[in-house]
């Protein structure tokens, strides 16, 4: 049985990746590592998945080396990161440590063991920075222009990946993943944050109301996390080392329209009020990607409509509140 190690195992993307393997009867031995305990019960995924968890800080190089040496993974899905752009503005040093540094620690551990392991390095559409409308949709050859500490850290991780592929022959596939959303996503992120505020209004008995927001005129390319993990599996098992792939829907949505869609599903009228504390020092105005490369090479494309994603997110949050 092939082995997959998943970093950032307690996050919502990992949860959906595990469910994808199970639902498609893809049998693997899994080792999840994270600094916090996961909510998943390993027993519910047997016998298809043989799953274990180990608490691990990827900044602890000795412990990481020991885990790699003991488990001997065939694949690594590297999800561990501090992925909040807002957080990176407050703590740029910690952002670099928990993105670029932990990635280097992971690749150093692999090289020390001489493992023939395929590693998926997850990057971000934030790497593109501010672009002109003429540059849309964004393709992988677009020059990078990061405008936040988080984006710079992701670019550094990507560039180091290419160095390791070219210099040491490592099998690293790279993504620039656009804004993915779905059930169980932390409310620190924009869309689940909108949902919780709108549900709070609805549950108070209001038929209309106001929520605090940041700049809702920006445009983002949203896609469902369940489409994303399907792409990650294809890239992990069949992607070309050293190549970068956009993971995106190809459709741009204004944030204010997302608020309107959530309000329509919930059955309430909502207006937004800009709170200056939610405004970032610099923000990408418009991000829309092209997924032509991964579609041509691996046959992947986003399939789940935005409204379906929002409905599932709303239902999940409502169930959590029961």
Predicted confidence at residue 279, as pLDDT, reads 66
Q: Match 């180990």 to its residue by tokens.
A: 54
CA 279 to chain centroid, in Å, comes to 22
| Cis-peptide, bond into residue 137, ω within 30° of zero | yes
Residue from 318, 313, 321 nearest 16 by CA: 313
CB 273 within 8 Å of CB 205: no
What is the DSSP annotation of 208-241?
A: EEEEEES-TT-EE--EEHHHHHHHHHHHHHHPPT
Q: What is the mean pLDDT of the chain?
A: 93
110-168 pLDDT, tens digit per residue, is 999 999 999 999 999 999 998 999 999 999 999 999 999 999 999 999 999 999 999 99
pTM (two decimals):
0.95
Q: Given a cut of 70, is residue 282 above it in pLDDT?
A: no
Residue from 121, 214, 230, 212 nearest 172 by CA: 121
What is the DSSP annotation of 243-291?
A: -EEEE--S--EEHHHHHHHHHHHHT-EEEEEE-GGG--SS--SB--B--
Q: Which domains does the chain have, with CATH numbers?
A: 3-182+223-250+288-304 (3.40.50.720), 190-218+253-286+312-320 (3.90.25)
187-224 pLDDT, tens digit per residue, is 888 999 999 999 999 888 777 878 888 888 999 999 99
- The DSSP symbol for 47 reads T
């Amino acid at each position: 049985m092939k082995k997959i190690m998943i970093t950032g195992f307690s996050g919502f993307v990992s949860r959906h990746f595990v469910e994808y393997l199970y639902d498609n009867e893809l049998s693997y031995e899994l080792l999840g590592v994270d600094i916090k305990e996961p909510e998943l019960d390993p027993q519910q995924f047997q016998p298809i998945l043989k799953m274990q968890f180990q608490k691990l800080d990827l900044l602890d190089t000795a412990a990481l080396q020991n885990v790699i040496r003991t488990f001997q993974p065939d694949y690594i899905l590297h999800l561990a990161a501090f992925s909040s752009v807002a957080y990176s503005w407050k703590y740029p040093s910690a952002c670099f440590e928990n993105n670029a540094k932990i990635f280097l620690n992971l690749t150093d551990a692999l090289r020390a063991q001489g493992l023939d392991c395929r590693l998926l390095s997850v990057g971000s559409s934030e790497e593109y920075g501010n672009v002109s409308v003429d540059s849309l949709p964004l393709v992988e050859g677009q020059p990078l222009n990061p405008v936040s500490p988080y984006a710079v850290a992701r670019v550094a991780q990507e560039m180091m990946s290419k160095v390791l592929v070219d210099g040491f022959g490592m099998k690293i596939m790279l993504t620039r993943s656009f804004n993915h959303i779905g059930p169980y996503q932390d409310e620190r992120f924009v869309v689940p944050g909108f949902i919780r505020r709108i549900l709070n209004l609805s549950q108070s008995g209001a038929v209309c109301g106001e929520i605090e927001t940041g700049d809702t005129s920006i445009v983002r390319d949203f896609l469902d996390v369940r489409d994303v993990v399907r792409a990650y599996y294809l890239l992990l098992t069949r992607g070309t080392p050293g190549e970068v792939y956009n993971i995106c829907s190809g459709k741009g949505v204004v944030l204010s329209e997302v608020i309107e869609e959530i309000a329509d599903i919930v059955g309430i009228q909502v207006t937004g009020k800009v709170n200056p504390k939610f405004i970032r020092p610099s923000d990408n105005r418009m991000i829309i990607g092209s997924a032509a490369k991964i579609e041509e090479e691996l046959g992947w494309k986003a399939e789940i409509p935005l409204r379906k994603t929002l409905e599932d997110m709303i239902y999940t949050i409502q169930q959590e509140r029961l």
